[in-house]
Amino acid sequence: MEKMSRVTTALGSSSITGRTMFCHLDAPANAISVCRDAAQVVVAGRNIFKIYALEEEQFVEKLNLRVGRKPSLNFSCADVMWHQMEENLLATAATNGAVVTWNLGKPSRNKQDQLFTEHKRTVNKVCFHPTEAYMLLSGSQDGFMKCFDLRKKESVSTFSGQSESVRDVQFSMKDYFTFAASFENGNVQLWDIRRPDRYERMFTAHTGPVFCCDWHPDDRGWLATGGRDKMVKVWDMTTNRAKEIYCVQTIASVARVKWRPEKKFHLATCSMMVDHNIYVWDIRRPFIPFATFEEHKDVTTGIVWRHQHDPHYLLSGSKDSTLYQHMFKDATRPVDKANPEGLCFGLMGDLAFAVNESLVSSDGGRKPYPGGDRRYPFFSFKKPNPTEQFAHVSSALSVFETDLDSSRMDWFVKTAQLYLLSGKPFTELCDHNATVARELKRPQVSTTWTMLRIMFSDPALGPNHSLSKLGGLPLMNSFSMKEMGPESRLERCKGESRQDNIHLEPGNSHISNNNEENEETEGSDGPTEYMFGDAELDDDDLYPLEHDNQTVAEEPVYTLPPEAFQLRHEIIDNPSVPEHLQQDKADSPHVSGNEAEVACLTPIESFSLISISQPLYSPHLHANFFCPIVREMLSHYAERGDVQMAVSVLIVLGEKIRKEIDDLTQEHWYMSYIDLLQRFELWNVSNEVIKLSTCSAITCLNQTSTTLHINCSNCKRPMSNKGWICDRCRQCASACAVCHHVVKGLFVWCQGCSHGGHLEHIMNWLKNNSHCPAGCGHLCEYT
């Protein structure tokens, strides 16, 4: 195997050929090992012990070593190793604690040679000395390692791991006398084979068991270890203290690790649980496997490189009862599949984008975004790549900053803070929210609130009441009202909405002048209000009228994840609510209702209009009548990215609408909105929303992650105790630094020196002082 240090024949003369192939075993394999000339492989498991010949096209069963009628536990192998000097010599470790050697040269059917039953527990590992013919080492669950001389009947020496189970033993390549042992408690020990009384060196390599270790085949004193903590670590053992030089984080506990021959930085790993693949890592690139073999259907239990000087063939045995030969050229290269572009939004709308430089340059002069002026500093860096195996990669990183003049999410934050969601009668909530929206120059939202109030408020209150209020609202499209009567307005709206339905591209010629008028009247809602969204929207919605561009062809280079980004509502959206209403209504028998609807929807100025709508309202329409419309409206808002509106309406309407919308959608909206609120650090609002929500999945959010880990202010150690008293220094940890009483209730403390106290006291103190009241000298700051 790769452990050979004295190599008599190099590759060359009989170069290995073959292909990716496999054969079915009768039973799950626990371990495999190859003979030195790479022509045969032995497979061992609980119910299998066979030798296969590796031929060009297939595996051929050569020998079944499991003979005898009664299956003995001595055949139940946890590990197997083929001697690298003696072609006929094998050793197995049995689960019942026996160490067995086998001599293939024996003429009889039973090839069993020696049987050592000195271990009391399962033997996890056997290892032949790489150069010495008769020296065998075993490591067992009982915490002992034993060295056997095969010419004698019993062990020569016993090494005690201090009652910790041994998981792996490996002779060093570099030093004739040294071997490494890995333990269940996370330690690795180095022993001198001549000194059984004490280990030479011990260090803690992993948290939890170290399942495997492997010396680097070149004499470099490198030891790779793999553990249950899902890490592979490479240690430099040449220095006084074992030094961790590389670390690879895998996705499952590491069961085996094997250095790849002839490749200094490569090693192969397989896992014991969950993950069935074999990975080959370049230890300098620990984030993504260099190559992956994905053939096995169950966990891989044994991996071995076929020849100690050939890096192209890997053999593996698995619990799925197959034995595989993997060709390196057939391996999957995860790097190829990895997404080479990175994209990330900053909170305030900045966009960072990293891409392979070649892609960017090939685009030549074209600006990635039509609004090229928005593309702020562009910088790139090249990362020189040291590896020959990896393609030379360099990436360009661009950062697109938002226009600093307009603080784009202001409206969101303000809306979130000012909206009232509960605590008042429904109509007042609607009115309040409408006012808020209006003040933030979001007339459509404002109108929606008003609409909702009209639709759902108790008809008994009388339309007069509600409508007179409505009449007081400033009206966004008032100009149009002046020009035409309600009927013609209705016609126009209908026509437009259909068009908009089909083509939501404002750059299109379909947009009638009404839109442009809107644009003018709502001039403040220009492109500067645009927050962020995907590129498509950017192209289409943002510069609809300024650029007369047909960008459709070149736009979808950058696609963003469909998260709920907040979009500023465009003017174009305005007709959309009426559109739904009208189209729905058009089919309904309530023609009168239809008109009333229009009257409400379309901006109202004159009282004559109200007088028209009054008699048509309420008597015919039950509040439930509007539910489908409102539902569609909410979905529309949510789809446009304004989950804020959707959630707020949901909460304010409460029972009136809840049943109309399925729980999953509601939950999804709530989650998106809460996520956004938390990003903007609007903790109070988010908490209120959580509290007011009716989805069980949301309300329970308030109950999770409510733990706060604190340090004791006296001894600065973490407080493990749940009470008021630190268990280390036996003092009350949360005493107020000003009044020296225990604080129960609001507690404010400095994150720097962890002193603090009653909120009021500290505020008062810091008005006049800059130092910590505890006298520790720290300059505390109250923000």
Partner 1 sequence: MRHAIAPSENVENNSIAVTDLFKICTHCERLNKKDLGIRIPRPLGSGPSRFIPEKEILQVSKVDASTQAIFEDAFAALRRLDNISLVMSFHPQYLESFLRTQHYLLQMDGPLPLHYRHYICIMAAARHQCSYLVNLHVNDFLQVGGNTKWLNGLNEAPQKLQQLGEINKILAHRPWLLTKEHIERLLKAEEHSWSLAELIHAVVLLTHYHSLSSFTFGCGIMPEINCDGGHTFRPPSVSQYCVCDIANGNGHANHHNDLLGNQEMCGEVEELMERMKQLQECRDDEEASQEEMATRFEREKTESMLVVTSEDEECVPSRDISRHFEDTSYGYQDFSRRGEQVPTFRAQDYSWEDHGFSLVNRLYPDVGQMLDEKFQMAYNLTYNTMATHKDVDTSMLRRAIWNYIHCMFGIRYDDYDYGEINQLLDRSFKIYIKTMVCSPEKTTKRMYESFWRQFQHSEKVHVNLLLMEARMQAELLYALRAITRYMT
* Residue 236, phi then psi, degrees to nearest 5: -95, 115
Q: Let me know if 746 is exposed, middle or buried by CB neighbors in 10 A (0-12, 13-18, 19+).
A: exposed
Q: Which of residues 629-658 bind partner 1 (CB under 8 A)?
A: none
Q: For residue 146, give the nearest of 164, 123, 163 by alpha carbon.
A: 123
Structure tokens at 316: 């593996």
Provide, rounded to whole angstroms, the least separation between the CB of residue 322 and partner 1. 13
Question: Judged by CB, which is closer to partner 1: 77, or 599?
Answer: 77
Structure tokens at 437: 């929206």
| Alpha helices in 279-397, H assignment, sequence order | 334-337, 357-362
Q: Which of residues 85-104 bind partner 1 (CB under 8 A)?
A: 94-97
Selected binder of partner 1 within 61, 294, 298, 330 (CB under 8 A): 298
Q: Map residue 158 onto helix, strand or coil.
A: strand
* Alpha carbon distance 601, 577 (integer Å): 9
Question: Judged by CB, which is closer to partner 1: 207, or 385?
Answer: 207
Does residue 252 belong to the site contacting partner 1 (CB under 8 A)?
Answer: yes
Structure tokens at 635: 């979905």
* Alpha carbon distance 410, 233 (integer Å): 49
What track of x and - describes contact with partner 1 for positions 720 through 759 (by CB under 8 A)?
Answer: -xxx-x-x--------------------------------
What track of x and - describes contact with partner 1 for positions 154 through 193 (by CB under 8 A)?
Answer: ------------------------------x---------
Provide, rounded to whole angstroms, the least separation between the CB of residue 505 and partner 1. 38
Q: For residue 762, give the nearest of 235, 771, 409 by alpha carbon.
A: 771
Structure tokens at 333: 């290269």
* 8-state DSSP, 573: G
Q: Which of residues 61-80 bind partner 1 (CB under 8 A)?
A: 70, 72-74, 76, 78
Half-sphere exposure of 678 (CA within 13 A, CB side): 10
Does residue 273 belong to the site contacting partner 1 (CB under 8 A)?
Answer: yes
Does residue 60 belong to the site contacting partner 1 (CB under 8 A)?
Answer: no
Does residue 122 belong to the site contacting partner 1 (CB under 8 A)?
Answer: yes
Does residue 700 belong to the site contacting partner 1 (CB under 8 A)?
Answer: yes
Q: For residue 76, give the nearest of 34, 30, 129, 24 by alpha carbon.
A: 30
Tell me how many degrees the CA angle 171-176-178 measures, rounded to the nearest 5.
50
Query: 322 has which bridge partners?
Result: 24
Does residue 117 belong to the site contacting partner 1 (CB under 8 A)?
Answer: yes
Number of residues that bind partner 1 (CB under 8 A): 43
* Alpha carbon distance 5, 173 (integer Å): 6
Tell me how many degrees the CA angle 595-599-605 measures, rounded to the nearest 5.
155
Structure tokens at 742: 């225990």
Return the residue matching tokens 């030093």: 175
Q: Which of residues 301-330 bind partner 1 (CB under 8 A)?
A: 320
First to last CA, the chain: 65
Count of Cβ atoms closer than 10 Å to residue 66 Cβ:
18
Question: Judged by CB, which is closer to partner 1: 41, or 701?
Answer: 701
Does residue 704 belong to the site contacting partner 1 (CB under 8 A)?
Answer: yes
Question: Judged by CB, which is closer to partner 1: 186, or 527?
Answer: 186
Question: Judged by CB, which is closer to partner 1: 36, or 228?
Answer: 228
Question: Judged by CB, which is closer to partner 1: 124, or 444?
Answer: 124
Question: Judged by CB, which is closer to partner 1: 207, or 684?
Answer: 207
What track of x and - describes contact with partner 1 for positions 656 through 695 (by CB under 8 A)?
Answer: ----------------------------------------
Does residue 294 belong to the site contacting partner 1 (CB under 8 A)?
Answer: no
Does residue 110 belong to the site contacting partner 1 (CB under 8 A)?
Answer: no
Provide, rounded to whole angstroms, the least separation between the CB of residue 697 and partner 1. 8
What track of x and - describes contact with partner 1 for positions 187 through 226 (by CB under 8 A)?
Answer: ---------------------xx-x---------------
- Could you list the residues that contact partner 1 (CB under 8 A)? 46, 70, 72-74, 76, 78, 94-97, 117, 119-122, 141, 184, 208-209, 211, 228, 252-253, 272-274, 276, 297-299, 320, 696, 700, 703-705, 707, 721-723, 725, 727
